[in-house]
Amino acid sequence: MKDKPESYWKEKLTPEQYKIVREKGTEEPFTGELLHNKEDGVYRCAACGTPLFSSNTKFDSGSGWPSFTDVIEKGNVELIPDDSHGMHRTEVICATCGGHLGHVFEDLPSQAGGPKEGGKRYCINSCSLDFKEE
Ligand code: FE
């Protein structure tokens, strides 16, 4: 799906989703509709439907974006070094369609917003996700 023309995504996604998923935008913190979602289920790519995260790994990071400690299956996302905006970060994209999802951070247990036990914090835009209760 990575070879789909931008016109395909423009038609498929809402303007807000398009800005984030295809143009690597970031939604305003604390605005995403899945931020406080605590139902059991699977978070899929909003653009192509690939399963990305399980509710089992979702936690409240306080960052303002839905946060997960792990992906549902390793090969379903790709990690890309991102040095934009004067920061060194790791971008997370959907391995199937190439859509922008968010960033992943290495947190220490003591860091505010990190997972309690330390480890990875996948900070993902609500707009990039489609939740299905299971
Ligand atoms: Fe996708």
* Full set of structural domains in the chain with CATH: 6-133 (2.170.150.20)
Mean pLDDT of 63-70: 94
Q: Is 123 a catalytic residue?
A: yes
In this prediction, residue 114 carries a pLDDT of 59
The band of 118, judged by pLDDT with boundaries at 50, 70 and 90, is: low
In this prediction, residue 61 carries a pLDDT of 87
**Complete DSSP assignment for the chain:** -TT--HHHHHHHS-HHHHHHHTT---PPTT--TTTT---SEEEEETTT--EEEEGGGEE--SSSS-EESS-SSGGGEEEEEE-GGG--EEEEEETTT--EEEEEEEE-TTSTTS-TT-EEEEEE-GGGEEEEE-
In this prediction, residue 119 carries a pLDDT of 82
In this prediction, residue 112 carries a pLDDT of 60
The string of pLDDT tens digits covering residues 5-60 is 999 999 999 999 999 999 999 999 999 999 999 999 999 999 999 999 999 999 99
This prediction has a pTM of: 0.92
The string of pLDDT tens digits covering residues 67-114 is 999 999 999 999 999 999 899 999 999 999 999 999 999 876 666 665
Q: Which listed residue (48, 97, 123, 127) is catalytic?
A: 123
Ligand 1 is a single-atom ion; what residues have CB below 5 A from it? 45, 47-48, 50, 94, 96-97, 99
110 C-alpha to center of ligand 1: Å? 33
Backbone angles phi, psi at 39, to 5 degrees: -70, 155
